A and B are shown apart, each in its own frame.
Chain A
Amino acid sequence: MKRSAGLHPYLISVALLLMALLASVALGPVFVSPGDVLRVLLAQIPGLPVKADWQEFAPTIVLSIRLPHAMLMALTGAALAGSGAAFQGLFRNPLADPYLIGVASGAGLGAVFALAVKWPSNLLGMYSVPAAAFLGAIATIALVYSLARVGRTLPTTTLILAGVAVSAFASSLTSFLMLRSNQELRRALSWLLGGSVMDGWDPFWAALPYVLVGLGFLSFSGHSLNLLQFGEEQAQQLGLNTERAKLLLILAASLATAAAVAFSGVIGFIGLVVPHTIRLVWGGAPHSAHDYRRLLPLSILGGSSALLAADLLARMLLAPQVLPVGIVTALAGAPFFLYLLRRAKDQAFW
């Protein structure tokens, strides 16, 4: 089997991501030319002779405003799509995503609880928000898992029902907490719709370690996820310690989701649409993207690009007004998902 073949999906994904990042930094209320963006970025590398012939405001806009925001969006998209792909594989359910099974709502509840107790004014407080979101996510998934489990199996129907019910419960508690702390209501509401409420590099650096650990683990879990597609019994007979593998996968995916939700708010559909799009585009033999060793890295890259694109739309559509990006992903994601489903009717889609 040729190993070098089948590289081009990665090249395309990386190229798309770089283009999305560049566009995201260049476009906004004030246009910064891509050339200026690149020169400003290159000038950051010490020792590189770059002539400072850019517009005066370019470094501030690029380095302090747009790049940190773009990086946070890229990180969030990667976390949501990567954990979406992992949840789909883990639960062997094409509809599983961080939102449907309640992880994201649980993370939201955890984050809002932390914020309601005390809005983080210092750095330590801010680093604790993803930790609270993570605890909320883990508690939710443990609850959903135990509710949905029938004997030794995890049937699709009970999983979805338990996920939706627990998700609704967590959302109600979130709303309740937000209503109680009315001075933060507007801020929290825009957060809930997927509008990042913090500026600068702080949220990016606060979320980064959680996402790196979560996605880092997931990127190397492709083989375990492939085995789990055959059912837990066969996976075990092929040599997988299934209980340990499932636990680690849930922890890693929840960690990434929690960090994303804690700093970027509730952004739906990325975790569902991106992995399915990749399966549809690159799902053919022999280097099928249904292979989780390929699907996970491609979803992580694709998730970044997709959320950057959605964020760009959110900022440009009604400029100068900025829409919460969660509205854009839902408005674009839902019809796009239906289109994918229709197109996929006679293919080996799942």
Chain B
Amino acid sequence: MLEVESLYFRYNGHDVLQNVSLRIQAGEVLALIGPNGAGKSTLIRTISGVLKARLGAVMVYGREISSLSPMQRARYMAVVPQARQLPGAFSVYQTVALGRTPYLGWLGKTGKSDDLAVQRALEQTQLSHLAERMVGSLSGGEQQRVLLARALAQETPILLMDEPTTHLDLEHQTVLLNLVRSLTVERGLAVLAALHDLNLASLYADRVALIAAGRIHAMGAPQQVLTSEQLSHVYHVPVQVVPHPQYGSPLVLPDGRRTR
């Protein structure tokens, strides 16, 4: 469904991405983890087509994205950015309706099927009651849900998320990722999510890709990737990994005393 083949991206003479390859199937969540500046956002932006790769290819359904127009790309992939700098003066409905752009003619007129898709996205993200509110009057968690709703209204098989939970509290993190998880299963989405929180990645992802200095350091099931050896190596601090008391998935604990 989404295939990334030995991708290289260079910025200011510096290889930000080196030989990155990955595949995501329908109904699968792949979490992208790694230190700040490891290249997570760059990878998502390159896959989405807004950055041009130096070498390598991004394929959706076997088609190279550089051969597609922005509109065609937007029918395959939707991106959930971070909620910073969201224009505040549009209503929630107006903002979510922009997700219908790839299906509209050049006049940008929406039809009945577009309205339905927007309504459905609003319901799924529990935003229907806020539809006519201004985005600027919403909380950070609600604004992040608006961006998710906009991506869902795009009705794409592939969803790319760039640290969607960074500015959210525990409740909103959980609600958002539960929603993504259930939509992945129901709609057979392929999801690539850059996540800062290793424990959320462990709980919600089918597979995890650990990226460091622009390379994929390890990729696989959370148990295989989230080990104290690999994490200590990549993050340069000692960590402890224990099993989740209920699910058995790995939980990552910073080793506070020894770093002090």
Binding site for B on A (CB under 8 A): 1, 220, 222-224, 226-227, 229-231, 233-234, 236-242, 279, 283, 285-286, 288, 290-291, 293, 348, 350
Chain A: minimal CB distance from B46 (Å): 12
Q: How far is the CA of A236 from the CA of B78 in the complex (A)?
A: 11
With A223-B101, A236-B49, A237-B74 given, is the CB distance from A229 to B81 under 8 Å? no
Contact of B69 among A1, A241, A283 (CB under 8 A): A241
Q: Hey, which chain A residues are within 8 Å of B115, CB to CB?
A: 1
11 examples of A-B residue contacts, CB within 8 angstroms: A220-B106, A226-B108, A227-B98, A233-B50, A237-B70, A237-B81, A239-B71, A239-B102, A288-B89, A293-B108, A348-B88
Q: Hey, which chain B residues are within 8 Å of A286, CB to CB?
A: 91, 93, 131-132
Among B91, B131, B154: residue with most chain A CB under 10 A: B91
Q: Is the CB of A238 within 8 A of B45?
A: no
Per DSSP, are chain A's interface residues mostly helix, strand or loop, or mixed? loop
Q: How far is the CA of A288 from the CA of B137 in the complex (A)?
A: 14
**Residues of chain B in range 140-196 having any CB-CB distance to chain A below 8 Å:** 150, 154
Among B70, B79, B137: residue with most chain A CB under 10 A: B70
Per DSSP, are chain B's interface residues mostly helix, strand or loop, or mixed? mixed
Q: Is the CB of B45 within 8 A of A233?
A: yes
Q: Is B104 an interface residue (CB 8 A)?
A: yes
Q: Is the CB of A236 within 8 A of B50?
A: yes
Q: Is the CB of B89 within 8 A of A241?
A: no
Q: Hey, which chain B residues are within 8 Å of A283, CB to CB?
A: 89
Chain B: minimal CB distance from A5 (Å): 11
Chain B: minimal CB distance from A228 (Å): 10
Q: Is B221 an interface residue (CB 8 A)?
A: no
With A237-B50, A238-B98 given, is the CB distance from A229 to B90 under 8 Å? yes
Chain B: minimal CB distance from A22 (Å): 33
Contact of A223 among B49, B91, B108 (CB under 8 A): B108
Q: Hey, which chain B residues are within 8 Å of A290, CB to CB?
A: 87, 89-90
With A234-B81, A237-B48, A240-B101 given, is the CB distance from A288 to B70 under 8 Å? no
Q: Is the CB of A348 within 8 A of B89?
A: yes
Q: How far is the CA of A293 from the CA of B108 in the complex (A)?
A: 9
With A231-B85, A291-B90, A291-B94 given, is the CB distance from A285 to B71 under 8 Å? no
With A223-B104, A285-B91, A350-B89 given, is the CB distance from A234 to B79 under 8 Å? yes
Q: How far is the CA of A236 from the CA of B150 in the complex (A)?
A: 14
Chain A: minimal CB distance from B112 (Å): 11
Q: Is the CB of A230 within 8 A of B98?
A: yes
Q: Hey, which chain B residues are within 8 Å of A293, CB to CB?
A: 108
Chain B: minimal CB distance from A28 (Å): 41
Q: Is B73 an interface residue (CB 8 A)?
A: yes
Q: Hey, which chain B residues are within 8 Å of A239, CB to CB?
A: 70-71, 73-75, 101-102
With A237-B78, A286-B93, A348-B134 given, is the CB distance from A242 to B70 under 8 Å? yes
Among A223, A224, A231: residue with most chain B CB under 10 A: A223
Q: How far is the CA of A291 from the CA of B95 in the complex (A)?
A: 10
Q: Is B99 an interface residue (CB 8 A)?
A: yes
Q: How far is the CA of A236 from the CA of B48 in the complex (A)?
A: 9
Contact of B71 among A1, A234, A241, A291 (CB under 8 A): A241
Interface string of B45-77 (1 = CB under 8 A from A): 100111000000000000000000111011101
Q: How far is the CA of A226 from the CA of B87 in the complex (A)?
A: 10
Chain B: minimal CB distance from A236 (Å): 5
Q: Which residue of A lies closest to B89 (CB)?
A: A290
Among B74, B88, B98, B133: residue with most chain A CB under 10 A: B98
Q: How far is the CA of A290 from the CA of B136 in the complex (A)?
A: 12
